[in-house]
DNA sequence: CCCCAGTCCTGCGGGC
DNA sequence: TGCCCGCAGGACTGGG
């Protein structure tokens, strides 16, 4: 499930083979699955992107952005199982889109692969992506938000802090896996109301967010049991071996060694935490 | 404002 | 052994 570290890994993996190249072809792959969401349609996209050079490859929260020289930008949202690949798809059956790229005489391809097909590919004007007033309505990036801004945004919501961290309008880039990891390192109970956290607790979250996400990027993200997440060369990440709580229900807490990790459900998603290390305040 | 359930989608694994 | 069902959850929507 690509979250910030996985999407950052995708961007880093494809950048060198994509930036500065021209799109000589953009097409749907002949797979028999339902087509993924794409706006506008393939014809309109082709008319705006063919023969355009890809100037920049970058990450915007959990999206991959390809900025073209004519001020159009591809916004690729992998959601659960989408991948950006340069070679060797996990299975050819779920290849969705292909960009054929050219630079001088050399030619290579970039693919969007998506087993479940929940991912989306859209073309926007680059000017629409500059801030959170645009169509994406994203909050500040989890790796760029200042402590002051995080405090301000926490104060604005009474939702459980775990649920608030998943809200891309509040902070962009964190998903279900890293939300649990961040709160465990912060030693904060996931049900605590965001607007009741102390300044010290928000500072702990800010610090943990940076540490967890940066470390996960260094490990090239988490590849879970289903093996779906892979980097641009179809290789697994390794941060799953460093997980403190996610997917570790009933196993020992890596911090206190004594207690077992508990799984609960918040906003219809699994939350993992240590009832001992994260048992702070409000009776939790 | 907040919360909840439903929607999209496919593969996997538990239970019978 | 084989089939059915629930689960995985990112983003979004509609109703209370």
CB less than 7 Å from strand C: which protein residues? A 1, 3, 61-62, 77, 79-80, 116, 118, 136-137, 166, 168, 175-177, 268-270
Give the C-alpha separation, A138 to A174, whole Å: 12
A46 CA vs B12 C1’ separation (Å): 37
Give the C-alpha separation, A68 to A55, whole Å: 5
pLDDT at position A167: 92
| CB-proximal positions of chain B, under 7 Å | 1-6, 8-13
pLDDT at position A278: 95
Taking CA A61 as the corner, what is the angle to CA A231 and CA A108, rounded to the nearest 5 degrees?
A: 40
A209 CA vs C12 C1’ separation (Å): 25
pLDDT at position A53: 98
**Of chain A residues 167-186, which have a beta carbon within 7 Å of strand B?**
none
Q: Are A29 and A97 in contact (CB under 8 A)?
A: yes
Asked if residue A157 keeps its beta carbon closer than 7 A to nucleic acid strand B, the reply is yes
Tens of pLDDT, residue by residue, chain A (284 residues): 799 999 999 999 999 999 999 999 999 988 877 888 999 999 999 999 999 999 999 999 999 999 999 999 999 999 989 999 998 777 778 899 999 999 999 999 999 999 889 999 999 988 888 655 567 778 999 999 999 999 999 999 999 999 999 999 999 999 999 999 999 999 999 999 999 999 999 999 999 999 999 999 999 999 887 767 888 888 889 999 999 999 999 999 999 988 999 999 999 899 999 999 998 766 56
Give the CA distances from residue A209 to residues A120, A152, A154, A231, A236, in Å, rounded to whole numbers and listed in that order.
27, 16, 14, 22, 23
Q: Structure pTM?
A: 0.94
* CA neighbor of A53 nearest in space, from A28, A84, A77, A22: A22
- Render pLDDT for A111-164 as a digit per residue (tens, 0 to 9): 999 988 999 999 998 888 865 556 777 899 999 999 999 999 999 999 999 999
What backbone phi and psi angles, to 5 degrees, belong to A69? Answer: -70, -20
| CB-proximal positions of chain C, under 7 Å | 7-12
SS3 string, A176-226, reads HHHHHHHHHHHCCCCCCEHHHCCHHHHHHHHHHHHHHHHHHHHCCCCCCCC
Cβ neighbour number for residue A153 with a 10 Å cutoff: 20
3-state secondary structure of A105: coil
**Of chain A residues 76-105, which have a beta carbon within 7 Å of strand B?**
80, 93-94
């Amino acid at each position: 499930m690509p979250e910030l570290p996985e999407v950052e890994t995708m961007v880093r993996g494809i950048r060198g083979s994509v930036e500065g190249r021209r799109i000589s072809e953009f097409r749907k792959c002949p797979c028999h699955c339902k087509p993924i969401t794409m706006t506008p349609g393939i014809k309109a996209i082709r008319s705006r992107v063919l023969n355009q050079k890809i100037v920049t490859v970058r990450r915007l929260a959990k999206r991959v952005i390809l900025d073209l020289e004519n001020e159009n930008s591809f916004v690729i949202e992998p959601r659960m199982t989408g991948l950006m690949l340069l070679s060797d798809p996990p299975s050819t059956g779920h290849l969705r889109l292909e960009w054929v790229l050219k630079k001088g005489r050399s030619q290579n391809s970039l693919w969007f692969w998506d087993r479940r097909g929940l991912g989306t590919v859209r073309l926007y004007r680059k000017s629409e992506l500059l801030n959170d007033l645009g169509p994406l309505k994203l909050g500040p990036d989890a790796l760029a938000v200042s402590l002051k801004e995080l405090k301000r945004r926490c104060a604005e919501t009474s939702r459980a802090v775990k649920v608030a961290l998943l809200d891309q309008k509040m902070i962009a880039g964190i998903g279900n896996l890293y939300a649990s990891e961040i709160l465990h390192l912060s030693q904060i109970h996931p049900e605590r109301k965001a607007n009741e956290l102390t300044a010290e607790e928000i500072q702990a979250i800010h610090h943990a967010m940076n540490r967890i996400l940066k470390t996960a990027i260094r490990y090239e993200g988490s590849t879970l049991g289903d093996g779906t997440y892979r980097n641009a060369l179809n290789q697994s990440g390794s941060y799953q071996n460093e997980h403190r709580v996610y997917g570790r229900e009933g196993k020992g807490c890596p911090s206190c060694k004594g207690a077992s990790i508990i799984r609960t459900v918040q906003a219809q998603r699994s939350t993992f935490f240590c009832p001992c290390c994260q048992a702070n305040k409000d009776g939790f």
